[in-house]
Structure 1
């Protein structure tokens, strides 16, 4: 009886599923690189044919335009486009950090209120979510800026609070701290207090695990963080003074000014994104079995203790993943600031700088890289936190 013919070496090689998978992936990757190289080469050929300048030498040129808000020193007569790029990044970070802070607090409160046994609180929370979630964020930004803030009085008729804080259509003005000699000791005291509270919290957790006794870490830790810098402030001879805004002519001089564009953008981003975080909080709390709460009640625990010690720690495993997406959306939605002229990265760099320089490829790629870097950092931090919160399997 004759034996069946053995497969040719090449055919036998391709019959291996792992080998075929690798071959197909290599071919697909080669096609992607070929297409990308073709379009890139075609793009630069067209740029060269039109005589358009390329490269990043424009970053060393003088910008020559004013910026309404800068966190670092800037002079429109001597500062370069590189400094404009830095200011845009810092302003984007500022509004994103403010909005993330307030949207987290507001979303947590509204999400808990949504499940409240109080009929009025639950319904008001539901109305808040349904109203602000279904209005486009751009319209909300325009509303707060063009309707609410524009209706504020002029500087001469400003709303005054404690004769040091003022609110008008030019923004919110507050005293500016002036740091003198020995003021560094206050910062050192604050840092040491935070480090001390960290180790105190670890001791409190270990003590609770060993004995079951609670330690008021929030009240004690808060007191340490607040009182330590205050005590050093007086011991060091009060080295921090303040510059209070003063009305001179038709506007205020001195102090810190939060421009209306920042107020409108941060407020709109906060109340809009908080609706989605509130729903994530509600879903996380409802995912915890009711038996957990009933068992805690049977032990005589109060509702706020049950929420803080039992419900939220378990709910966070469900809450964190969707919250990551909302933080990323918030950062990207900050680019809508261009509609009201807030000087963030899109307005300053992809707007004014692009109009003056004309190098669209470099400017757009740099702006995209900024948002990509922000998103990656946020994702890494929250994914790390999410991994820490997960229940470890065997």
Structure 2
């Protein structure tokens, strides 16, 4: 009779931490973590020691002191007697505003330019190539200054004055001036929340309809119309409720009074210059990401869709782009982060973002450089992690599910 016994277990040796591939990566990660913590501890102790020698301490009490300076563009009520904290909040909102507008506009430009570079139309393809190569290879700060200069040559407000003015408002409601752009402002009257609620529900309904149409297409092959039904679901209920409720949402149109326009929403020149510059600059990079994503799709996919009788536009929207998203989205996340951080160049054109308020005037007035820089670092860290988390969640939802 033959007896089988387990082989003797190998005893653990310290040399395995380096030579055994099972432990080597953990060893290096642990060493790197220890060195990082040691470095941070050394810098912290050095900072505390130097502050003690200088008779200083870290304090954020200055945030409650009056700011004493004006801000040209503000999403909330603000005057120079408000605190540094409120001025910083205004800067945060201004940063988020230009980042949000820039990401939306850059994405639209990037998609059109990326698809256009692959167009069979020679002129369109070359124009998109010139756009991408021109903006991508010039520093964004230069484009910010160039576009800011272009905005200054727009008509002055006085050009809209008189019986035969030199300039006219676009559609009678929008004024383009060298001080900024003035657009209509919505007036929320009694009952307006009902219209807004119906519109939000309509948006949800439109997405639900598109999801149902997509599911039906994949399960039965039946293609439901998408364009007109989606528009009807979006706008018809809200328009009906708007008139039934007696038009509870009004519009305030900008009017020329004195030396400038009053009423409406004023988008100051620095905001316009920064928004456009960041959008066209980042859009050039996104265009390359889109082009690479489309070219990563096997040409047989396009040919198979064409053999089924799909039009080129439907092929791009239903076959190519959905598959290309898994290639496009990861680098686009980096571009969104770059755009948000590039917005800190706003001070070059006088746009008061967080870097201009907290990291600029507040820092100079209070002398609290360490506190201000730490808050700046924390803000950009949080907003970068937030953008990354949202986009990665979306990326996980749209990526191909493989067995």
TM-score when scaled to structure 1? 0.92
Is 1:132 matched up with 2:135? Answer: yes
Please give the residue correspondences for 1:101-120 in structure 2 after superposition, counting only pairs within 5 Å. 101-120=104-123
In the alignment, the residues of structure 1 paired with residue 34 and residue 325 of structure 2 have an alpha-carbon distance, to the nearest angstrom, of 42
- Offset at residue 131 of structure 1 (A): 1.1
In the alignment, the residues of structure 1 paired with residue 152 and residue 73 of structure 2 have an alpha-carbon distance, to the nearest angstrom, of 18
Partner residue of 1:370 out of 371, 379, 383:
379
- Offset at residue 114 of structure 1 (A): 0.4
Is 1:283 matched up with 2:280? Answer: no
Partner residue of 2:59 out of 37, 55, 60:
55
Is 1:42 matched up with 2:51? Answer: no
In the alignment, the residues of structure 2 paired with residue 198 and residue 70 of structure 1 have an alpha-carbon distance, to the nearest angstrom, of 33
> Corresponding residue for 2:3?
none
Partner residue of 1:32 out of 36, 45, 68:
36
8 Å Cα contact 1:193-1:224 kept in structure 2: yes
Compare 203-212 and 181-190 and name the one that shifted more.
203-212
Is 1:227 matched up with 2:236? Answer: yes
**1:52 and 1:191, CA in 2 relative to 1: closer, same or farther beyond 3 A?**
same
8 Å Cα contact 1:13-1:19 kept in structure 2: no
**1:32 and 1:122, CA in 2 relative to 1: closer, same or farther beyond 3 A?**
closer
Superposed CA deviations along residues 149-179 of structure 1, whole A, max 9, x for unmatched, are 1112221114422332111111101222211
**1:305 and 1:12, CA in 2 relative to 1: closer, same or farther beyond 3 A?**
closer
Secondary structure of 2:335's counterpart equals helix
In the alignment, the residues of structure 2 paired with residue 89 and residue 120 of structure 1 have an alpha-carbon distance, to the nearest angstrom, of 42
In the alignment, the residues of structure 1 paired with residue 109 and residue 264 of structure 2 have an alpha-carbon distance, to the nearest angstrom, of 28
Secondary structure of 1:178's counterpart equals strand
- Cα root mean square deviation, aligned: 1.8
In the alignment, the residues of structure 1 paired with residue 388 and residue 24 of structure 2 have an alpha-carbon distance, to the nearest angstrom, of 34
Uncovered stretches (5+) of structure 1, i.e. residues with no partner: 1-10
Partner residue of 2:252 out of 227, 230, 243:
243
> Corresponding residue for 1:3?
none
In the alignment, the residues of structure 1 paired with residue 264 and residue 72 of structure 2 have an alpha-carbon distance, to the nearest angstrom, of 15
TM-score when scaled to structure 2? 0.90
Superposed CA deviations along residues 55-97 of structure 1, whole A, max 9, x for unmatched, are 11111111121111111121222x2111112111111111111
Is 1:93 matched up with 2:96? Answer: yes
> Corresponding residue for 2:156?
154
Is 1:84 matched up with 2:87? Answer: yes
Please give the residue correspondences for 1:282-361 in structure 2 after superposition, counting only pairs within 5 Å. 282-361=291-370
Partner residue of 2:278 out of 269, 278, 294:
269
8 Å Cα contact 1:14-1:20 kept in structure 2: no
In the alignment, the residues of structure 2 paired with residue 259 and residue 86 of structure 1 have an alpha-carbon distance, to the nearest angstrom, of 19
Compare 315-324 and 49-58 and name the one that shifted more.
49-58
- Offset at residue 130 of structure 1 (A): 1.2
**1:28 and 1:174, CA in 2 relative to 1: closer, same or farther beyond 3 A?**
closer
Superposed CA deviations along residues 167-196 of structure 1, whole A, max 9, x for unmatched, are 111110122221111011111111111122
Partner residue of 1:70 out of 52, 57, 74:
74
Secondary structure of 1:76's counterpart equals coil
Is 1:168 matched up with 2:177? Answer: yes
- Offset at residue 117 of structure 1 (A): 0.6
In the alignment, the residues of structure 1 paired with residue 48 and residue 397 of structure 2 have an alpha-carbon distance, to the nearest angstrom, of 47
**1:258 and 1:34, CA in 2 relative to 1: closer, same or farther beyond 3 A?**
same
8 Å Cα contact 1:69-1:259 kept in structure 2: yes
Compare 248-257 and 346-355 and name the one that shifted more.
248-257
- Aligned residues, how many? 382
In the alignment, the residues of structure 1 paired with residue 220 and residue 36 of structure 2 have an alpha-carbon distance, to the nearest angstrom, of 61
8 Å Cα contact 1:61-1:80 kept in structure 2: yes
Please give the residue correspondences for 1:168-187 in structure 2 after superposition, counting only pairs within 5 Å. 168-187=177-196
- Offset at residue 210 of structure 1 (A): 2.6
In the alignment, the residues of structure 1 paired with residue 29 and residue 284 of structure 2 have an alpha-carbon distance, to the nearest angstrom, of 42
- Offset at residue 26 of structure 1 (A): 4.4
8 Å Cα contact 1:179-1:241 kept in structure 2: yes
